Chain A
Amino acid sequence: MKCWSIVATLVGGLALGAMAGPVRAEDNAVIKGKVIFKGDPEKYKRTKLDTSKDANCTKPVGSEDVIVDKDNNPPTLRNVMVSIKEGLGDRKFEAPKTPAVLDQKDCHYEPHVLGVVEGQEVVIRNSDPTNHNIHFLPKINEEVNKTQPKQGMEDKITLKKEEPFKVKCDVHPWMGMYITVFNHPFFSVTDKTGTFKIDKLPPGKYVVQAWHEKFGIMTANVEVTSGETKECDFTFEPK
């Protein structure tokens, strides 16, 4: 009986290890691309936000809900979360050992859109010489509502369930950002260049999703083979 239970434990452990195991050699496909903005960029100019509530917020803070980088050709959209929505099947992926960092700096959040893997640690830091109160507003994960009154304070949170949600500061009403928790590490957020890159992908057929806080969701079907790099652009055209 004992012997069987040891064998069962070993087999079970090995199976789990294989499911959430290291990246396989053939997991090296890449999906990359650009998120293009089609429309009048002048309509979506960033504005200076009123930060007069706190005299410690000395640096100007700009709106971040829509950031169009009009100097790029064509103009691109920043802070778009591009991720694999479907196609990974039941494969489990290990959470990265390095924590994701969410910094409260110059009275705004850095980054504005953050992706984390289930079980990955998130370090919340206050880099400002003022009080911040970080408030996660999830529906499935546990709510986080923490005050960080001193500069340099850090809190560590682990998010356990797949879910996108908003984060706000209870002291500074203009501060807001978004966190998305994934059950895999295949996501990327567009930057100033408007580009994204999802690498180390297993070969397969995928539904790729692009999410923007104002303009919603777009999807595309992409098939990649081992070692292949596929281009996939998204175009957001606000009505």
Chain B
Amino acid sequence: MQVKKSWILLAVIAAALVASAAPAWAQAVAPKTTVPIDGEYGRFFSLPTDVSKNGHRIDNLIHWTHAFMAVLFVGWGIFFVYCLMRFRQRPGHQAHYELVHAKPSKYLEVAVLIVEIVLLAGFSVPIWASVKNDLPPADKAFRVRVVAEQFAWNFHYPGPDGQFGRTDPKLVDTATNPLGLDREGDPHAKDDIFALELHIPVNQPVICDISSKDVIHSFFLPVMRVKQDALPGMRIPVWFEAVQTGTYEVACAQLCGNNHYSMRALMYIQPATDLEAWLREKGKPPEEFVE
């Protein structure tokens, strides 16, 4: 049975509309958290809220890329339809199947190439270099280690001494020591803080060192325009700076297993004083459990 092309087209458009609504739907069905999340995470074709210093540069890049692609898409689309009509078979006219070698098409191809080179070399590479590669000075940045696992984000803060303690996979206990901190053997590890939430200061560069305990995950802060794969055996730094306080989402952007959807944490952007108070509180010995 031959399906009409118009039906296929309709189905494609419907699928595209459903897909565009996916972020809003995902936000609605995401696991319940104790705290409401701030910001918008993409209604139809809009980008999520941006609360980072550099986010607008990534957004601009995305917008420019889309604008150029839209011009190309529409331009090629019009040309395609024109060719279909102009060279079609009709009474007294044979259809043309051979390529037409003409100078204008060469110029057009070169123009597209130049646009793509400009996008890559003129926009993407410089933005990537400054936003991703040029880490802020370590003494000015707030540093957190992020350890991914199926299916949670673990956050490791250095504590009052500012030094990260030694970790050892042999010491990992999923309930009591998820990071495998050597609290007995390394003095720097004694004051280290572990949390399932990311707390960072506002208006200060933050460096997150990303790693993974098991499979490949992807550390995704939509409101910071940060997305970095977490690879077992590697510690990859990413940096960003928040310009607004609030509570936002940390997601995993790499399908990492059957509970990938639940790999979500909260990011609290706080004034420095609130952050210090939280770190002090979190740094206290764990509360005793009484049956």
Residues of A in contact with B (beta carbons under 8 Å apart)? 45-50, 52-56, 60-65, 131, 133, 145, 147, 168, 170-171, 173-176
Contact = CB atoms under 8 A, between A and B. Distances in A.
A132 to B, nearest CB: 10
Given A52-B197, A54-B31, A173 B174 contact: yes
A151 to B, nearest CB: 14
Contact of B259 (A49, A55, A62, A170): A170
B134 interface: no
B279 to A, nearest CB: 15
Contacts of B122: none
Secondary structure dominating the interface of A: loop
Interface stretch (B20-28, B91-99, B148-156): B148-156
B109 interface: no
Nearest to A168: B174
Contacts of A63: 175-176, 289
B174 A176 contact: yes
A145 B151 CA distance: 13
B190 to A, nearest CB: 15
Contacts of B178: 173
B175 A53 contact: no
B57 to A, nearest CB: 33
B195 A50 contact: yes
Given A53-B265, A55-B32, A62-B291, A48 B286 contact: yes
Given A53-B152, A173-B149, 10 more contacts: A46-B290, A48-B288, A49-B176, A50-B196, A53-B265, A54-B31, A63-B289, A131-B259, A170-B258, A174-B175
Contacts of A131: 31, 259, 262
Nearest to A108: B175
Contact of B289 (A54, A56, A60, A171): A60
- Interface size on B, as a range, is 20 to 34
Contacts of A171: 151, 259, 262
Interface string B232-270: 000000000000000000000000011100100100000
Nearest to B257: A170
B6 interface: no
Contacts of B38: none
A207 B205 CA distance: 61
Contacts of A64: 175
B15 to A, nearest CB: 26
Contact of A47 (B33, B197, B288): B288
Q: Which of A53, A170, A174 has the most CB of B within 10 A?
A: A53
A-B pairs, top 9 by smallest CB distance, nearest first, are A62-B289, A47-B286, A46-B289, A48-B287, A174-B175, A173-B152, A55-B34, A170-B259, A48-B289
